[in-house]
Structure 1
Amino acid sequence: MKAIIKNIIMGASVAILLSGCMTPKTVAYFPELTDGEILTLAQSKGIVLKPADKLSIIVNTKSADLNNVLNLPVTSQIIGYTALQSTNQSRGSSGYTIDAEGYIDFPIIGKVKASGLTRAELAAHLKEALNENSVAKDAVVTVEYLNLGFSVIGEVRTPGFYPFDNDKTTLLQALSKAGDMTIYGDRNKVKVLRMKENGQQETYVLSLQNAEAMAKSPAYILQQNDIIYVQPNNYRQRQAANANDTTTGSFWISAVSVLTTILVLIFK
């Protein structure tokens, strides 16, 4: 009789423990990816500039006076005090915000279309315009992002907003910046929320357990203001929903443990 009761209790304990476990297959990334396998990525220009994007545009020529004209003053904030300092060095920062029509207002040249271009295309366009308008034939134009980035939220170790440091940041690189997923992140349903210029939001759902489909997704290469949401897996959702519920696995594991101890003491 003692042996039967013990076997029943041990069987119940094992069943409860197994029901709450996550298998290695559901935790691993790309379990089907093999050595040497080549994936074709979705075609992407990378980050395409849009209205409200803020850019640093630095123009360097052989003329220091011309540099002062082409480069906006640098504004520095020191405990509530604003100091304007003119610069003719490449370390200066010229901030331009793309207007609602997609243009920036550039010194001497005037209105320049920026929306729809990459930063490399904009730099080439400005250099060509400076040459065509006989402003500078030897200009070196550098365009950098000032307010462009992406957000990572949900089941990651360090959620937050991260600025872009290259033109083609991938979903995997973004997750890496956020410290990777936690063990409770759903590898099959990573959502990328993307704002369109018409004010609508488009949602892409990517699976980190299907490398081929992920690589072909237009959301694999991120755009400015993308929001990456790693939703909790089923195990985590059950934990949250039943945190104070006596029907949860953790409650029954504790209950079985106590009951086992009592019965062992009784029938010892």
Structure 2
Amino acid sequence: MAGLEIGLVVIGILIFVGSFFITEKLSSSDMKEITKISEKEIKNIVNKAVAESDDVIKQRFDNKLEDYVNDFAIRTDDEYVSKMNQMNEYSEKVLETMEKTNNEIVFIYSMLNDKQEKVTDLSARLDTTKSQLLQLKSDVDESINELREQYESNIQLKKEQEFVTGIEAARVETATVKTFEDELIERISDEENDAPEGFVHAVELANNNSESEDAKIESDGGNNTTSENDIVKLYKEGFSEVEIARKLGKGIGEIKLVLGLYN
């Protein structure tokens, strides 16, 4: 429709311009003949010319349109093929990237699984080691307590043995002294009648003191543990050796012996 309108405008312009040339070339008689033509005939002529022009314009328009369409189709096909090739290349790159990423993810997941298994195994081993260490600590503590008790028991037993040994040594020494006194008495028994009365009395007094000391040692041997505890107790309370000997009625030597074994 746009082509028809353009054609009519062009024809109108041509007729308008051509009228000037026709008027100059036509004679007066020709002009009279033209004026005799009816309006209807002029309309028919114009319509016919317009129709012919319309056909020509339409044909040309169709030809041009076909050329344009063909050219556009060709260019479109080339561009389409180019775009498709680019899309294919891009799709291949995307697929390669996705495959690479997928492989990396699978690899990382596999590594994480391995690490998880190692961590789980290590955790189990740590728990086992912790239990073993706790058991070992308990055994060591128990052994230390047993050794401490045994050591204290041995120390106490050693002190008691040393105390008893000291008492036995005192007994042996006392027995030796008594034997020496008996020998001395026997030696001088033959001379008893000739000896002064004071000397005999002194020997008897020494003999009585020796027997009294033996009885005291035997009595102390039965209660050695109690006496030892009393001596140690008084010593801890701050009493001196002389004060302890006075309180318990014992000799200084015995007090020193007990305290020496205790310390």
Which category describes the TM-score, using the shorter chain as reference length?
under 0.3
Rg larger in structure: 2
Give the number of the structure whose residues are more often helix, by fraction. 2
Higher relative contact order (CA 8 A, sep 6+): 1
Give the number of the structure whose residues are more often strand, by fraction. 1
Normalised by the length of structure 1, the TM-score is 0.21
Normalised by the length of structure 2, the TM-score is 0.21
